[in-house]
A and B are shown apart, each in its own frame.
Chain A
Amino acid sequence: MKLNKNATKFVFLILHILRAKLCPLLVPVLCSFIVFQGCTQESSTDENEGTTVVFKHGKVAGDPEALNALIRRFEESNPDIKIKDETLPSSTDEQHQFYAINLEGRSSDFDVYAIDVIWVQEFARAGWLRDLSHILPLKNRDEFFHGPMKAAIYQDKVYAVPWYIDAGVLYYRRDLLEKYGFSPPKTWYDLVRIASEVTRKEPNLYGFIWQGKQYEGLVCDALEYIHSNGGDILIDSQVVIDSPENMEALRFMRDLIFKYRVTPVLVTTMIEEPTRHIFGKGKALFMRNWPYAWNIFEADDSPVKGKVGVSILPKFSGHQSSPTLGGWHLGINAYSKHPEAAEKFIEFLTSYEVQKTLSLTIGYKPTLKALYKDPDMHRAQPFTTSLYDAFEHANPRPITPYYMMISQVIQPEFSAVISRTKEPEEALKSAREQIEHILTVED
């Protein structure tokens, strides 16, 4: 047909134009690539015997071989189950967005998935998690840390199993504190006093750095002041965010920057890594961060090797220190087609032996309390076992399905306070109104 002939000629002309300057082999190479792709496309259809359980999780810190070895061990002892391991970017936003898109579309593409501690309530309420109460009877629940376990229970049912725990800690320069005869601060005002004195005498040193960018981490940081002053955001669904204790706590945060001047104003742009870099170069006396940074500071080429100490976060006098709880849980997709196999896999991953292996190989912080008294752990991972107190005291963020909405409300308010756009009273009052609006919307 004339049309066909002309069309093919036309296609070849375009090809010719495009190839004018490119290697003539490009097109055949591309074609072979496509064919190659088609042949090696991994099929997700099950084989005749056995089921495939898809495990979706954010990237595992450290050597991926550690997790692969464990997966192989599981497959050996469960010959009819195959595990397909799929990683997502570690950005929590991207993971949350991915799960939202998939689960809103009722996808069964994954069976076991790792979720941030603050999502469990929300996902449970949305019907995206399978009830796991039968694999975690009451007596077993006490084996886990109290905080993560509480965050995983919604309406008296367990919806996820704690896998990895995280909590804020205070890093300090041991060498500098010793030099000036100080010990790690117990209260926030102690910290201010020590930081002011030392930075007066040491040039080119920031007193105290923390994460102040407008993101979830800011809420984590701010709660450490709020909770350690006896305040809270929600108590039994009552909004108490504008209490005097909270105002004092927020005002203190702002004063750290502008009144006491121990914190540089650039914290309003900082997340975890930039603060880690600054402290790791030796430019700060105190830093609030998660425990992950310790290994980096103790690496051979680190300028602060051997000079760093870690202690539990300070508090306001008369109250208790309250690090914010982080960490990840494992849950089963409510739409999964292989829930029993998935349950076996979760039991495996959260068992004593496996958590111990993960901790010894890649430094995961386990969620089973008994591991922190294990002699092997003491020997090989003394830093991890020393964090027991911090994890015991770690306080979760408000445990409610509406937490993500609440977080979206308070992030800009807290940010407004520490950037001096709003007074604490105004910000907290506005936050209270918005949170109340959220909680009463249920018609």
Chain B
Amino acid sequence: MRRLCFYILLLIVSFYCLGPYLWQFITSLKPDAELSRLPPILPDNPTFDHYVSIFRAHPFFRIISNSLIVACSTTFISLVIGSLAAFALAKLDVRRKRLILVFVLSVSMFPAIATVSPLYIIIRALGLRDTVFALIITYTSFSLPLTIWILTSFFRSIPHEIYLASRVDGCTVFQSFYRIILPLSAPGIFATAILVFIFSWNEFLFALTFTSTVASRTIPVGIALFPGLHEVPWGDIAAASVVVTIPLILLAFAFQRRIVEGLTAGSIKG
């Protein structure tokens, strides 16, 4: 009986999360004339036209690859730099720890609309307009607060004795960091990786301002370019949103095991 309850709950949660996405998928299969007809829920004449159209009418492959580059780079750099900083704040003897953490946090306390203008001037001055590097740098700085805070917390939750023990065993600070502490906080690292990746994948305001051609255009701007002056090709947009969400789901699926595995090493106990 309890098992049945459990599975029912699972079903409700699945529907809650999946429902609108499924509706997008169904919409993407409807021809234009049927887009706003309800009933029926399912299309009378399902078609893959919209999927074909998004790749034919727009350079979507290039756009997806831009997003991939930006997101992967941002995630990688944020994790590297962020975990270093988090380690220092969690395990090392740093003065004014709290001040630094608050400074880190304040970076993400500003509304983006206030920072986009001056940042654009910097980007232009550096000659980085319409490049992926502009986006990577910006996204990294805005992802660092979240990264540092999450990883600091995870590093802190590892008992200090383990760190001390590893130092006694002859590790340098660095070695302790990457041999002992990092693997033990794999859940935090993977969770952060997913969040940073998704943030870079979906960010719109800076992408719109800093890019101007396909050379650096990312997915959100690409989708924003679908509508014409008044007309909104809702079928195409639905198809595009289905397509661009799939890599994220695959990524999450790949990572979620590592989030769970975490403490199999057993070095925590005893």
Query: A residues bordering B, Cβ < 8 Å?
Result: 2-3, 6-7, 9-11, 13-15, 17-18, 20-22, 26, 30, 33-34, 37, 40-42, 44, 56, 58-62, 86-91, 94, 98, 101-102, 104-105, 107, 109, 272-274, 276-278, 280-281, 290, 292-293, 296, 299, 301-303
Contacts and interface: CB of A to CB of B under 8 A. Distances in A.
Interface in B71-105: 72-73, 75-76, 79-80, 83
A17 B174 contact: no
B121 A14 contact: no
Given A41-B131, A89-B224, A101-B120, A281 B36 contact: yes
Given A18-B75, A109-B129, 19 more contacts: A2-B172, A3-B174, A7-B174, A14-B76, A14-B182, A17-B183, A18-B76, A20-B258, A33-B69, A34-B132, A44-B130, A59-B227, A61-B229, A61-B230, A86-B213, A91-B227, A281-B37, A290-B230, A299-B32
B262 to A, nearest CB: 12
B69 A34 contact: yes
Nearest to B45: A301
Contact of B117 (A42, A61, A104): A104
Contacts of B116: 101
B231 A86 contact: no
Contacts of A272: 230
Contact of A278 (B36, B186, B215, B258): B36
A6 to B, nearest CB: 4
Interface in B1-41: 31-33, 35-37
Contacts of B163: none
Nearest to A2: B172
A201 to B, nearest CB: 23
B167 interface: no
Nearest to A44: B130
A200 to B, nearest CB: 25
Nearest to B132: A37
A277 B124 CA distance: 42
A301 B129 contact: no
Contacts of B132: 34, 37
B37 A6 contact: no
B177 interface: yes
B178 A21 contact: no
B255 interface: yes
Interface string B34-76: 0111000000000000000000000000000110110011011
Interface string B207-224: 011001101000001001
